Structure 1
């Protein structure tokens, strides 16, 4: 897609949806802001930052320049515990819902939740549900941010 600005033509590139998914997963496997991913709206390039990595090859103005959009994580998109509770509400019993709520009152909840799903033979259904909703939400986020996707 080409866009004309007063200073000349700028090429705006699309981003592969698989690259968006990869960047999202990168941000989800961290605590707080340890891992971040940014997309350049003008080039479509994705940059990765990890607090432990001193060799980041990032543009110096990545935090200030409006060309760069930070890729959200699961908490930013409300795809954590809320999504789990939605799944349990739709797919399981009221007793199961109560048990899952108890699971999330202690540390290590996600690991215990997956063990619970295995006992109920629902792990594959959960993964399908989660994958569908994550992809749908990421596509909506891209559209809201004006990111053109290449499938």
Structure 2
């Protein structure tokens, strides 16, 4: 993948790396990818936050558009066209809320499964 993120089990610090947009300011530990003191944060597709999430939303909110969305996702640029459809249907903000909640739930479950303690409000403060 073009983007990877790791969490330090010692400090809780998150290291983000991107092949498309390298961050020069942050120093990445040399042993990040080999030491057992860091966990790679799974990609959204590994947590069913990709197309499966799209189809769960469509089935719940826009069942009359299931065939159209299925067709959209057979071609490149699907997410852009999907969001255009949502805007036309007047539910783009609802999608963003649905996606954010699903992402939070999946990451919380992943943290629990890996014995990572979450601190309330910390994610909002760092953005």
| TM-score for both structures, normalised by structure 2 | 0.85
Aligned positions of 1:9-28 closer than 5 A:
none
Match of 1:129 among 94, 98, 113: 98
- Unaligned runs of 5+ residues in structure 2 are 121-127
Structure 2 residue aligned with 1:83: 53
Deviating beyond 6 angstroms after TM superposition, the runs of 4 or more aligned structure 1 residues are: none
Unaligned runs of 5+ in 1: 1-31
Say if 2:74 is the partner of 1:99.
no
Give the match's secondary structure for 2:39.
Answer: strand
Bigger RCO of structures 1 and 2 (CA < 8 A, at least 6 apart): 1
Query: Larger Cα Rg: Structure 1 or Structure 2?
Result: 1
The question of 1:144 aligning with 2:113 is answered yes
Mapped pair 1:113 → 2:82: yes
Q: Which has the higher helix share?
A: 2
SS in 1 for 2:67: helix
* Residues 26-75 of structure 1 deviation map (CA, whole Å, 9 limit, x = unaligned): xxxxxx2x221111111111112223638562111111111101112211
Q: How far did 1:109 drift? A: 0.3
Question: TM (normalized to structure 1)?
Answer: 0.73
Task: Tell me how far apart the structure 2 counterparts of residues 66 and 111 of structure 1 sit (CA, whole Å).
Answer: 38
User: CA 1:54 to 1:133, structure 2 compared with 1: closer, same or farther past 3 Å?
Assistant: closer
Q: How many residues align?
A: 118
Give matches, 1:50-89, under 5 Å: 50-51=18-19, 53=22, 55=24, 57-89=27-59
Secondary structure of 1:47 counterpart: strand
Give the direction of change, closer, same or farther, for the CA distance of 1:45–1:54 in structure 2 (3 Å limit). closer
RMSD (CA atoms): 1.5
